[in-house]
Amino acid sequence: MSNTQQPLLTSFQLGDLQLKNRVVMSSLTRARATNPELAPTSLMATYYAQRASAGLIISESTWISPKAIGFINIPGIYTQTQVAGWKLVTNAVHKNGGKIFLQLVHSGAASHPEHLDGEIPRGPSPINLQLQVYTEDGPQDAVTPLAFTKAEIRETIADFKTAAENAKSAGFDGIELHAQIFTLIPQFLSSAANQRTDEYGGSIENRARLLFEILDALKQVWKSERIGVKFTPAAFNPGILKPDEQTIATYQYIFNRLNDYHLAYVHLVGPAVDLYGTTIAALQENYFGQFRKIYKGTLLSNLGFSRETGNRIIADGTADLVSFGCPYIANPDLVYRFAHDFPLAEADTNTFYGGYERGYIDYPAIIPVQ
Ligand SMILES: Cc1cc2nc3c(=O)[nH]c(=O)nc-3n(C[C@H](O)[C@H](O)[C@H](O)COP(=O)(O)O)c2cc1C
């Protein structure tokens, strides 16, 4: 396929934003905010600027408040120092002609007292997620959380709103809500982790209430066409957060309701495993197509895509945009490599999370980026 005919390299109108191509850099935690303030650094600005030829960059997941923390050296967006650090990033990306959304996250019960000044993490219910949480002392077993009170739920929604305001001050082009894998929103969506008897638990509608209340709060700050949300209906996490008999109906409900939200996009992560024999076997055939039928807005597809499969899913109309995670670690010039069908470099997994320049800003572009 010639350069200009590639669907991935055609421009796309994302709400009021014109994207120069449909190659999206997926959110990648790299744990380089190695300072007590958890503020982005000039090293991070260099890293993102190197990748500005993507049609859109989605930042690494970023804590909305100190209570959201569940890992080490991940940046936040709740102090003015952090906002100043993010300005370095957004300025550098914009200077290189790129666009960047900030990904907002809360760990919920997937945290540890070491991250929370000794406080017990809050989750939907006092149920241990049975996974490990990475701390300064290495991986530790998750503790049994305390259930969020309603006042704490209100406070958390307000924290998301403040974080969204801070993202605006920091110069981002939009925000993406992290509603994937084992974090706060999937914990509420899960009938295993959420056994609340109030309006946040029980029925699908109740378990999805927090998601929509957070989106409603974000919409008070950003136009909906600048807000994306990322889901992993098929994520088999360690511990109790796994797809079950209600998963398909839960996401059908969510995708249907999101039609009224007119978001920038829904970012849908595909299955990493064969779904036959699982509770969501019905999603195995035409996974993205099934959600595409329900959701009428812009669909951003993710997981394991290559130049070839990315072009195909856009050409056949199943997705509008494709995001790339791992390929962006070692290929800052991924768009250029796709354009010329050059081979991709392999990333060193030892430097995925944490460290400094090595394995972060030293992957060469075929034609060096400024
Ligand atoms: C090192 C690493 C860090 C990641 N961090 C995040 C993150 O902070 N937020 C998120 O939504 N996904 C995160 N992901 C998932 C990626 O965004 C993406 O969904 C996943 O890697 C699948 O896409 P790929 O097959 O193109 O790599 C991470 C993945 C990797 C490998």
Q: Which residue, 285, 284, 289, 260, is CA-closest to 273?
A: 284
- CA–CA distance, 225 with 228 (Å, rounded to integer): 8
Give domain status of residue 362, yes or no: no
**Do 116 and 107 form a contact (C-beta atoms < 8 A)?**
no
Q: Which residues line ligand 1 (CB under 6 A)?
A: 26-29, 60-61, 103, 178, 180, 230, 269, 302-305, 324-327, 352
42: domain CATH number is 3.20.20.70
Domain range enclosing 10 = 3-351
Give domain status of residue 359, yes or no: no
3-state secondary structure 299-327: EEEECCCCHHHHHHHHHCCCCCEEEECHH
Give domain status of residue 365, yes or no: no
Give domain status of residue 31, yes or no: yes
Give domain status of residue 114, yes or no: yes
- Number of other CB atoms surrounding residue 269 within 10 Å: 22
Q: What local confidence, expressed as pLDDT, does residue 325 receive?
A: 98
Give domain status of residue 369, yes or no: no
Question: What atom of ligand 1 comes closest to residue 26's alpha carbon?
Answer: 17
Question: What is the residue with the minimal CA distance to atom 28 of ligand 1?
Answer: 28
The pLDDT tens digits along the chain (370 residues) read: 556 679 999 999 999 999 999 999 999 999 999 999 999 999 999 999 999 999 999 999 999 999 999 999 999 999 999 999 999 999 999 999 999 999 999 999 999 999 999 999 999 999 999 999 999 999 999 999 999 999 999 999 999 999 999 999 999 999 999 999 999 999 999 999 999 999 999 999 999 999 999 999 999 999 999 999 999 999 998 999 999 999 999 999 999 999 999 999 999 999 999 999 999 999 999 999 999 999 999 999 999 999 999 999 999 999 999 999 999 999 999 999 999 999 999 999 999 999 999 999 999 999 765 5
Q: What local confidence, expressed as pLDDT, does residue 5 receive?
A: 78
**Do 311 and 1 form a contact (C-beta atoms < 8 A)?**
yes
* 351 Cα to the center of ligand 1, angstroms: 14
- CA–CA distance, 196 with 148 (Å, rounded to integer): 10
Tell me how many domains the chain contains. 1
**Do 129 and 206 form a contact (C-beta atoms < 8 A)?**
no
Give domain status of residue 118, yes or no: yes
Give domain status of residue 363, yes or no: no
